[in-house]
Amino acid sequence: MVQKLDQLTETASQTAGPYVHIGCIPSFAGLEGIYPEDLGRSPIADGAMGTPITITGSVFDSTGWALRDALLETWQADAAGIYPGQPGADPAVSGFCRFAADGQSGLYTLQTIKPGPVTLPDGRVQAPHISVWIVARGINTGLSTRIYFEDEKNESDPVLSRIEQRPRVQTLIAQLTGGGAYRFDIRLRGEGETVFLDM
């Protein structure tokens, strides 16, 4: 016999299901007015410093069908690479956004400012990125990934550099489609599958 570790086991995940919008963005489900407004409508307030950007895309299943029922959450640093809550963070950046794929087209849109590079405690620097968490019917545990940007220096990013199959790095890089506009598609399974993170 040995001493007990006295630790608990994390509660198991279960799918968010097709009605996740009721709990997370009730006005999308048709429950307008139950709260004054949905939580996480925008990651920025007026006066946020940095370059405004718009990211659009879809979440595709293995057949190439764009999910109509996906819910996405994003979390990001401010333009200086400081996370909300850390000393010196831009008070106009909440950093958190919650949005759904459109029920008709399956397209999502995120309007924010481009985050800055994030320096790690050990001195390495992460290229500008936005963390993404995806839940939906059929996804049993929420999936994590990151949006990097085509027009940033991504070569020495400590996460991207750990992806063995180099062509897969592209699955995490948003493509510039116009002034401040990017496209970022997520492929859950099969050809072109997005790199999902376990961090």
Contact pattern for another protein over residues 147 through 186, marking x by CB under 8 A:
-----------xx--xx-----------------------
CA distance 175 to 186: 12
Distance from C-alpha of 195 to C-alpha of 178, rounded to nearest angstrom: 25
Please enumerate in sequence order all residues whose Cβ is within 8 A of that of 2, keeping only pairs 6 or more positions apart, or say none: none
Among 24, 48, 101, 173, binds another protein (CB under 8 A): 24
Segment 84 to 143, residues that bind another protein, using CB under 8 A: 84-87, 94-96, 103, 118, 120-123, 126, 129, 131, 133, 135-143
Residue 13 found at the interface with another protein (CB under 8 A) = yes
Q: Which of 1, 2, 11, 46 binds another protein (CB under 8 A)?
A: 11
- Phi and psi, residue 166, nearest 5°: -55, -35
Residues in 51-90 at the binding interface with another protein, rule: CB under 8 A: 61-63, 65, 67, 69, 73, 75, 77, 83-87
Contact 67, 20 (CB under 8 A): no
Tokens of 181: 């506009």
Shortest Cβ distance from residue 35 to another protein (Å)?
Answer: 7
Give φ, ψ of 72 to 5 degrees.
-120, 145
Closest contact distance (angstroms) between CB of 106 and another protein is 13
